[in-house]
Every structure is written in C-alpha cells, then in structure tokens.
Amino acid sequence: MTRPSIVLRSLVIFYVGALLALPLGFVFQQALSHGWNQFWFALHDHAMDLAIELSLKVVILAVPLNVLFGVGVSMWIVRHPSPLSRFIDVIIDIPLAISPIIVGLILELAYAQNGWFGSVFAATGLRIMFSYPAIVLASVFVSLPLVSRQVIPLLREVGDHQEQTAATLGAKPSRIFFTITMRSIAWAAAYGVTLTLARVLGEYGAVLIVSGNIALITQTLTLNIGANFESFNAYQGFVGALLLALVSVIVLVFIGVARHRLERKRHVSFV
Amino acid sequence: MSVSYSGVTKSFGGRLVLDDISDIVNEGELTALLGPSGSGKSTLLRIIAGLTPLDSGRVSLAGRDVTNTPARDRHIGFCFQDYAPFRHLSLRENVAYGLKVQHVARAQRREQVDELLRLVRLEEFADQYPHQLSGGQRQRMALARALAIKPDVLLLDEPFAALDAQVRAELRSWVRTLQQEVGITTILVTHDQVEAMEIADRLVILNSGRIEQAGRPSFVYDHPATDFVASFLGPITSFGGISYRPHELEIVALGDGAESATVSEVIRLGFEVRVVLAGDDGTSTWVQLTHDQAKHLNPGVGQRYGIRVRSSKARKDAPLSSNVDAPR
C-alpha cells in the first residue's frame, strides 16, 4: 500500500468515525443505559407513540404524493420539453437550496388563517396551519426534487425509441407508460422513494414551524425527540433517537439495494 | 399497400427540413430513401409512421388519408436504427408485444411468435434478453417484432448502419429476400448508395429537404437528373469539360483521334485500378480499369497515352453533364 493511500484511509476512517459512528454509538449506549426494562417502558411513552403514529401518517401520504409528482414532472420535462418545463426543471431544486426554516415560514405566510390561500381554506372551514395537512405540505415541499432528480437522467438516457416502437405496435399511451416507461425507471423511482422517506421522517425545521409543535397532537417523532431534550428528559429523547436511527439504517440498506440494481441496469443497458 | 405523400413540409425551429415533398410508393415495392445526413430522409420516414407531426401536406395509405391518424392506428411497422429493444423483456416477449396489444389469445400468440422467430432464425434465443444478443440478432428481433402485427407497410431507419461490414452485407440480402417473401411494401432510409442500389426496387434521392430524383436504381445511375445525383451515386470525372463515369473512358495508344495525356498516378484497389492522367491543357481526369485491362496496358507514371470515350457506351452521345440543367 502506498503512503498517500494509508494517509487517505486513516483520514476517511477518522472522519466517518468522529462524525458518524461515535455519535450513533453514543445514542445506542444512552438509550440502553438504564437497562432493558426501562427501555421497554420508554418505548410505551404515550406522547412518543402518538408522535410515531403521526410521523407514519405523514409518510403514508407524502411519499406517494412525491412519487406521483416526481414521475409526472420528469415525464413532462424530458418527453415534452418547452420553455416552461425547462424553467420548472431549474426551480424544482429550490427546496434543496433553501433552509427548511424558511420553507416553514413561507408556508405559514401562505396558509395561515389570514394568509394568501389560508383565508380561502378558512372560508370552507378547513384549517391548514398547525395541523396534519400543514405537516404533509412541508414534508412534500422539502422532498420535492428527490424522486425527479433520480428519474430525469434515466428517462433521458433510455430515450423514447422504445416508447415510439410500442406506439407503432398499437399500444395506447397508458399501456406504453406502464409496460415500457415505468419498467425502465422503476429502480430510479424506488431510490427516490427511499430518499424521500428518510427526508420526511427526519425533517425538523419546516415541520417545527408549520405544525406548531403541539404535544400529543401535531408532534412528529423528530419534534418529540427535540421536545424531550429541551424539557430535560434526555433519556426519552435518546430512545426516540434510537428508533429513528434504526429506521434510517433500514432505509439505507434499501437505498443500497436500489442503487445497486439501478447501476446494474444502466450497465446492462449499454452492453 | 401503397404509400403516398404530397406536399410534405416540415421545419424544426425555423430550419426547413422537408420542402414540399411528394411521391408514391407502389404496393410490394422496396423503396430506398437515399441522401446525405441532414437531407431530411429520417424525418420523412417518421412522418409516414406518424411519429412526427408535419407542418403541411398529406400522407395516404392505399388511398386512405392518414395524415391525422396517430401512429398506433396506422398499422405501420417501424424499426429504429438502434433497434429499440424492450430491454426488460425477453426476445419472445419483445416479439409478442404487438400481439398482446391486439389481445391475441395466448396459444395462438405463442404459435405466431415461434413462427416469426423461425423466420428471423432466432428460435434458440427466444428466452434471452436483448443485452445478450449481438447487433445483427437485435436487428432481426426488431424486424420480427415489427412484422408480428402483420403491418401494411414496413419502415426501416438506417437498418444496417450500426453493424460491421460483414454482418451488414449478409443482413442486407437477407432482408431483401424476407421482404420479397412477405411481399410487404417497404421504405428504407440509408445514406449508403451501394446499399440502396443493391437492395431497392426504386430510389428516392433526397438533398436538403427536396427530392432530386426518383426511379429504378440502374436508370438513375445511368441518367442522373442533377450533378448532385450523379456524384452521389458513383464517382464522376471530368474529361474535355464534360462529366463522365470513370469506367466510361478508356486509355489507348497516342494518336487515333484521342486526347493525349500523361499518367500522374496509378492506384491499385484489387479488381479496380484507377489511373489518374494530366491532360496537355492542365486538366486532371481519372479512368477506371479492371485488373485485367490494367495488366494488359500496364500504365506507369510519366507514360503518355490517349484518353477517349468508350465506343461501346451510349453515354458518348449523352454525357452525364448534358442533364445538369434539367429542372431540380
């Protein structure tokens, strides 16, 4: 092994260790520091259980919404390019570029009872801010480009000759989409889904502002962890953090598999 | 089924790609759309298939106007230059795709697919995936897939361009035989004049969005309507201010009423031997000889000969350039 490579390896190991492994290990150690009985008891904390339930409800709606939007907008940008779609292609990355706190503030401005759209909804008796819809809205917003950024390059690479061939064979657009297009982009979309899932579960800033962070009502798991730390209930916070970390590990494994499949597909397609 | 189009005009972003094109392709014929890249030939093919909308003009199949009919209802088989295999489907599933769309029953579908795979000699690869096949095999798969729906017309976009020389020559004659067996009206796009002359019943020569000439290959070769067609279909050389095919000239001993010239270069290409001569007036002419003619004459650089038009050729009184002023 050459000297630079030893140095480089040590650096990477140190970096990853200090940034990732050590804190993560600390979370595990703290969460289990009071023994299994205490851990089991903490798992059944009422506020945390409600927070987990809310987080899952948000994921269940936000992820499919993001897939529908992501695939749809990708098809539009790649297959029907126009000045407008090129503009969308550029601004779709905005949620990644601006701070989630700002996203939260923008949404509050727009959807509060006296905001631009909020007043419209208020007239129908529907309350957006500080409730479940607001959390979903914020989650969808911050993860907006995660699916389309995976799907767009693949759609470009695959091209439209397969789709056009299917059309000359008599297939309708819907059939072409499900039998040809969707089959080519399935793994890219799956990868986007796992990224979205991780982002939605972990989102803090935007959700903090739009939800109002009301315990037992609009507190997601991430918010619940934060609240526990702030109210000097660190142990409960570590237990929540451990759960979130475990979910992240599972999601990471999925990402790894999806990416592997995706790369194999790309490789294969150019043999 | 005959194909006709008239007044077909198309531009992309202000650039005129097809300029008022009209032609009729007879039933059962194989027509080659021949032209350099950028001549609009592929766009014309896509317009006939319904894959690209036209700006103005009409397309008809067997007299029925299909200008506004979507591709899926035109019943036209189309093969892309890259064969566009459905990557996630096996060869058998690729060929069966069109039949599935038509809701052909499973047993019948299997029978038809087997028959098509036999026709394109790919039976043993039925369960393989496109990436496991060679370029030539993928091309045959694309043909079988297009033929599966028993299309009225077959359109091939540069079908042999992506293949190496030997496979290309094989497939070319095989496609020709297949086309005659099936008896399907076929339009093929190519930029290779040898390929077009070998395979086609009829040539349509395109240049910058317009048809330069259409007709039987041998006729077009002998009677090119324009300078472009003459030079695109084969080599031409200038002699006495007039254009000739190099094999229409001959080299003879000095005198005898021939123009005298000095050999400046001899290029031996196996069967063909090219002799480049400098005329006394400074012009350069090249003459194409067969291997045997060259052996008999044995021309060397610096030797002096006479050049004249072969007496056996009718070309003598109808040189190529007499047509130069014909309407384009």
* A253 pLDDT higher than 60: yes
- Return mean pLDDT, chain B: 89
Question: A180 and chain B: CB distance < 8 Å anywhere?
Answer: yes
Phi and psi (nearest 5°) for A164?
-70, -35
CB contact under 8 A, B80 and A164: yes
User: Residue B79 has which token pair?
Assistant: 């093969």
Return the closest-CA partner of residue B185 out of B160, B145, B155: B155
**Which residues does A261 contact at the CB level (< 8 Å), separation at least 6?**
A187, A190
* Mean pLDDT in residue range B22-43: 94
Q: Report pLDDT for B323.
A: 41
Q: Report pLDDT for B325.
A: 36
CA distances from residue B65 to A7, A168, B44, B62, B68 in whole angstroms, order as listed: 73, 17, 16, 8, 8
Based on the number of CB atoms within 10 Å of its own CB, is A243 exposed (0-12), middle (13-18) or buried (19 or more)? middle
Q: Count Cα neighbours of A204 within 13 Å in the Cβ-side half-sphere.
A: 9
CA distances from residue B170 to B140, B176, B195 in whole angstroms, order as listed: 12, 10, 11
SS3 content of chain B, % helix, strand, coil (to 5): 35, 30, 35
CB-nearest partner of A168 from B71, B85, B88:
B71
Alpha carbon distance, N-terminus to C-terminus of chain B: 29
* A271 pLDDT higher than 70: no
Mutate which: B45, B66, B69, B78, vs A, most A CBs within 10 A? B78
Based on the number of CB atoms within 10 Å of its own CB, is B189 exposed (0-12), middle (13-18) or buried (19 or more)? buried
> Is B204 within 8 Å of B210 (Cβ atoms)?
no
Helix axis angle, A35-43 to A234-269, nearest 10°: 80
Question: B119 and chain A: CB distance < 8 Å anywhere?
Answer: no
* Mean pLDDT in residue range A87-93: 92
Residues 29-68 of chain B whose Cβ lies under 8 A from any Cβ of chain A:
49-51
Within 8 A of B50 by CB-CB distance, chain A residues are 168
Instruction: State the DSSP code for A181.
Output: I
* CA A109 – CA A42 distance, rounded (Å): 37
User: Residue A38 has which token pair?
Assistant: 């205490």
* B253 pLDDT higher than 90: no
SS3 content of chain A, % helix, strand, coil (to 5): 80, 0, 20
ipTM of the complex: 0.84
User: Residue A172 has which token pair?
Assistant: 């309708």
> Is B212 within 8 Å of B324 (Cβ atoms)?
no
- Return mean pLDDT, chain A: 89
Return the closest-CA partner of residue A199 out of A127, A103, A131, A112: A103
The C-alpha of B150 sits at a distance from chain A's nearest C-alpha, in angstroms, of 10
Instruction: State the DSSP code for A189.
Output: H
* Mean pLDDT in residue range B191-197: 91
Residues 45-74 of chain A whose Cβ lies under 8 A from any Cβ of chain B:
none
Helix then strand count (H, E) for chain B reads 9, 17
Helix (H) / strand (E) element for B249: namely strand B249-252
DSSP track, B180-234: HHHT-EEEEEES-HHHHHHH-SEEEEEETTEEEEEE-HHHHHHS-SSHHHHHHHS
Return the closest-CA partner of residue B160 out of B181, B141, B175: B175
* CA B44 – CA B25 distance, rounded (Å): 13
Instruction: State the DSSP code for A198.
Output: H
A177-186, A251-260, B235-244, B247-256: range with lowest mean pLDDT: A251-260
Based on the number of CB atoms within 10 Å of its own CB, is B213 exposed (0-12), middle (13-18) or buried (19 or more)? buried
Phi and psi (nearest 5°) for B303?
-75, 150
* B14 pLDDT higher than 80: yes
Band the pLDDT of B319: cuts 50, 70, 90.
Answer: low
Band the pLDDT of A207: cuts 50, 70, 90.
Answer: very high
Is the whole-model pTM more than 0.80? yes
pLDDT in tens, B153-183: 999 999 988 888 888 888 888 889 989 988 9
DSSP track, B266-301: EEEETTEEEEEEEETTS-EEEEEEEHHHHHHH---T
Q: Report pLDDT for B326.
A: 36
pLDDT in tens, B282-313: 889 999 999 998 888 888 898 899 898 887 55
The C-alpha of A197 sits at a distance from chain B's nearest C-alpha, in angstroms, of 27
Within 8 A of A179 by CB-CB distance, chain B residues are 97
Residues 150-169 of chain A whose Cβ lies under 8 A from any Cβ of chain B:
159, 161-162, 164-169
Q: Is the dihedral of CA A264, A265, A267, A268 positive or negative?
A: positive
* A177 pLDDT higher than 90: yes
Band the pLDDT of A2: cuts 50, 70, 90.
Answer: low
Band the pLDDT of B130: cuts 50, 70, 90.
Answer: very high
* Mean pLDDT in residue range A69-91: 94
CB-nearest partner of A169 from B82, B131, B149:
B149
A–B CB contacts, 8 A cutoff, strictly below: 66
* CA B195 – CA B205 distance, rounded (Å): 13
The C-alpha of A268 sits at a distance from chain B's nearest C-alpha, in angstroms, of 6
A7-11, B162-166, B225-229: range with lowest mean pLDDT: B162-166
* Mean pLDDT in residue range B197-221: 94
User: Residue A41 has which token pair?
Assistant: 């008891």
Bigger pLDDT: B18 vs B174: B18
pLDDT in tens, A96-144: 889 999 999 998 888 887 777 777 777 777 778 888 999 999 999 999 9
